């Protein structure tokens, strides 16, 4: 279905959604991410991937949906310390509705090899499915998918892993946000170029140089299960969370 003038259409009927709690993003997606989707949150360093993913997770927890964040990029303690300054983060939810897990600790616990082979991937996915069930999670954040894929030596195994991980989580009723790292100025949506092919959605974060000031941007490139705007938005990460402004309006303010 075609979008009308870059804006959001009326909500698609009958599609269960996981509202992100970010008003601008939910408007673009006609109410939220279709439940069960695996969405790449792609962007270079400093574009806000971790903060935005955490906001989606915390907003879901406030709606009664337990969430799991698997971190490969920094210790859990640092994520919590950095999150305390945001009003969307409530520390009392940690361990109850919001669960943090350090991937490096899990890899050691599961005795996985530095380079993951097929049997290691099987072991990890069994752990992931079991943990999601135990925590009752319906939202999962992988921060980052790239950090796991770096441990997989073969391109075909990366594609297989991404597909199987998404299938495992979708079958459990989870909506998944997988952070995907790219280099500044790249037009691709992932490091290895295969992850986006099996993802249900891509939300692209970037930077826009405006008169020497670097603005963060957000664009929904694709999202299976819903019509949506593909317009680019200027975003600001405030203490209250993400605020979005259409690029055109932001440009007019600069003039």
What is the per-residue pLDDT for 249? 55
| H/E segment holding residue 213 | strand 213-223
Number of domains in the chain: 1
The dihedral sign for the CA sequence 143, 160, 18, 223:
positive
What is the per-residue pLDDT for 188? 83
Which range of residues forms the domain containing residue 248? 17-254
Strand order in the sheet with 175-181: 98-102, 66-71, 137-143, 175-181, 38-43, 201-210, 213-223, 232-238, 241-246
What is the per-residue pLDDT for 1? 34
pLDDT (tens place) for every residue of the chain, 255 residues total: 333 333 444 456 679 999 999 999 999 999 999 999 999 999 999 999 999 999 999 999 999 999 999 999 899 999 999 999 999 999 999 999 999 999 999 999 999 999 999 999 999 999 999 999 999 999 999 999 999 999 999 999 999 999 999 999 999 999 999 999 998 877 789 999 999 989 999 999 999 888 788 899 999 999 999 999 999 999 999 999 999 999 865 554 544
CA distances from 151 to 148, 165, 170, 192 (A): 6, 15, 23, 12
Helix (H, G, I), strand (E, B) or coil at 202: strand
Angle, in degrees to the nearest 10, between helices 49-62 and 76-83: 80
Within-domain flag for 11:
no
Within-domain flag for 7:
no
User: How is residue 57 written in tokens?
Assistant: 């997770």
Instruction: Give CA–CA dist 74/88, Å, rounded.
Output: 20
> Which of 149, 232, 229, 226 is CA-nearest to residue 193?
149
Within-domain flag for 37:
yes
- The CATH number assigned to the domain holding 212 equals 3.40.50.300
Within-domain flag for 8:
no
What is the per-residue pLDDT for 228? 94
With beta carbons less than 8 A apart as the criterion, state whether 202 and 145 touch: no
């Amino acid at each position: 279905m075609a979008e009308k003038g870059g804006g959001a259409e009326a909500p698609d009927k009958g599609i269960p959604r996981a509202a992100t709690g970010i008003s601008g993003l939910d408007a673009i997606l006609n109410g939220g991410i279709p439940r069960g989707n695996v969405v790449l949150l792609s962007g270079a360093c400093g574009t806000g991937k971790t903060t935005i993913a955490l906001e989606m997770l915390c907003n879901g927890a406030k709606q009664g949906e337990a969430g799991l964040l698997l971190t490969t990029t920094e210790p859990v303690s640092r994520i919590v310390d950095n999150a305390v300054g945001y009003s969307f983060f409530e520390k009392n939810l940690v361990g109850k509705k919001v669960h943090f897990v350090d991937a490096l600790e899990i890899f050691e616990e599961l005795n996985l090899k530095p380079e993951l082979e097929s049997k290691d991937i099987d072991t990890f996915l069994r752990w992931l499915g079991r943990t999601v069930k135990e925590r009752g999670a319906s939202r999962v954040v992988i921060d980052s998918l790239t950090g796991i894929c770096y441990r997989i030596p073969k391109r075909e195994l990366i594609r297989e892993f991404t597909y199987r991980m998404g299938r495992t989580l979708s079958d459990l009723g989870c909506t998944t946000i997988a952070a995907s790292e790219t280099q500044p100025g790249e037009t691709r949506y992932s490091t290895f170029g295969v992850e986006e092919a099996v993802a249900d959605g891509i939300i692209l974060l970037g930077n826009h140089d405006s008169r020497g000031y670097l603005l963060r941007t957000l664009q929904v490139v694709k999202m299976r299960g819903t019509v949506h705007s593909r317009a680019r938005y200027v975003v600001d990460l405030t203490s209250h969370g993400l605020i979005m402004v259409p690029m055109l309006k932001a440009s007019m303010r600069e003039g």
